Homo-oligomer: A and B are copies of this chain.
């Protein structure tokens, strides 16, 4: 593979000159510069990013730590959307992305910091990390620039992007309350996600605002799984048939609840209202289409990359990006009779 040395030899100049010519420095004679460029093209030279990074101490690379990069992640296209957003922004900024492998069994052999430092990524975007993951503390301790999705961590070098999850659920409750619902249950996700806490807070606050009471036995953990949500909803509906609406912390779980309702012969939305969260692709395609809180995951990814680069460049002091969400009213919610 051709190097600048080869070019230098062919052009009869020093490697320094070649380096400068190729990197667009002004202090190179126009003719030599031209000659060098021609030769470079001719011998199909391509710069060795490794060598360059080594000496410049900059890799133009950001790392991606993704927990949901598994077979199941395909159903909710969240991970994918975020990834796309990141990719979009990084493309424009000429940063490349490296996907770290954390799916392996030996993920715990290497510490987070090691993973990043080995590859000399300039920063990291972390997605889908659970709040009992040991990496989380490391992220906070290390000084590697980092942006988390939906995990509130703030430091000199770390920030996060999220949506207003409290408000998202509150909007939902308001909508439900306006439709006359009073007996509202919630299917939350597991505790290892920060958003679960927020969404539950939104539930409490929303109920309070509507003058309704939260019954703790009507709040269950669907583990962000369709099947589990279905089971839990089934139990709840059997025990408390007076429930008229379910607020779910994810669309997949809402789908599970709709299944449960169907199983019991309760029509959605006529006899039961159900709401989701996320607005995954399925939400609008399914029948009845899901009323849900839409998160723009693409924008979240885009903003995450933006924030990370601004941390890298120390251009701004803020460490948080809040993305708007929106209640999409579709066909799983209806006025109570």
Contacts and interface: CB of A to CB of B under 8 A. Distances in A.
A98 interface: yes
Interface string A65-84: 00001110111010111011
A59 interface: yes
A118 interface: yes
B48 A50 contact: no
Interface string A253-289: 0010000000000000000000000000110011100
B74 A103 contact: no
Contact of A53 (B50, B61, B73, B98): B50
A12 interface: no
A180 interface: no
Given A46-B113, A51-B54, A281-B282, A73 B84 contact: yes
A298 interface: yes
Interface of A: 1, 44, 46-51, 53-54, 59, 61, 69-71, 73-75, 77, 79-81, 83-84, 87-88, 90-92, 94-104, 113-114, 117-120, 255, 281-282, 285-287, 298
14 contacts: A44-B113, A48-B118, A50-B54, A50-B120, A61-B98, A70-B84, A71-B84, A74-B80, A79-B80, A90-B101, A96-B119, A97-B99, A98-B98, A286-B287
Given A46-B118, A71-B298, 12 more contacts: A46-B114, A50-B119, A50-B120, A71-B81, A73-B84, A75-B77, A87-B103, A98-B98, A99-B99, A282-B282, A286-B286, A286-B287
